[in-house]
Amino acid sequence: MALLFTARLSGLILVEKSIGVLVLSLGFALGCVAYSNKKNKRDKWEVYLLLPVFFFCIVELILDYILVMNWRRSTIVGPYLLLYYFSLWMLIGYSFRFEKKWGFITLATYMLNMSLSLYQYMILGQ
């Protein structure tokens, strides 16, 4: 996501869209991992912590790639951002469940993502 924000700030629309497709594919892969965890009767948190990322990717796919509208200036941006940050926190929790090192790496990339997101908002207003 940090690369996506950087591409957006640089005005590299094709790079931004390409990274967006990559992020969506990773989100759908995490949905498959959640399904596999459920199917293999792993701990319920190994399923639940991944589902918000999967649902976020479905919403992102619909809003940015199917409807293709300027929804970021509408009232749905609030619930969208809530789902976005909630899903990122669940991903951080998921990574901490397996190894603290990966949890801290995920947390550090989250902080980078937040910084770039705020910077983007200050520069682009969206």
Under a CB-based contact definition with an 8 Å cutoff, are residues 18 and 4 in contact? Answer: no
pLDDT of residue 69: 78
pLDDT of residue 126: 58
Question: pLDDT tens digit string along 1-48?
Answer: 777 777 877 878 888 888 888 888 988 999 999 999 999 999 999 999
pTM higher than the cut 0.75: yes
Q: How many CB atoms lie within 10 A of CB 94?
A: 23
Total of domains in the chain: 1
The band of 116, judged by pLDDT with boundaries at 50, 70 and 90, is confident
For the record, the structure tokens of 15 come out as 């790079």
Which residues have CB under 8 Å from 95's CB, separation 6+? 102, 103, 105, 106
Question: pLDDT tens digit string along 89-106?
Answer: 999 999 999 899 999 999
pLDDT at 76 over 70: yes
Q: How many CB atoms lie within 10 A of CB 108?
A: 10
Q: How far is Cα 14 from Cα 8, in angstroms, rounded to an integer?
A: 9
Please give the residue range of the domain that contains residue 119: 2-124
CA distances from 81 to 7, 23, 84, 97, 102 (A): 19, 16, 5, 24, 24
1-5, 66-70, 96-100, 118-122 — which one is most confidently predicted on average?
Answer: 96-100
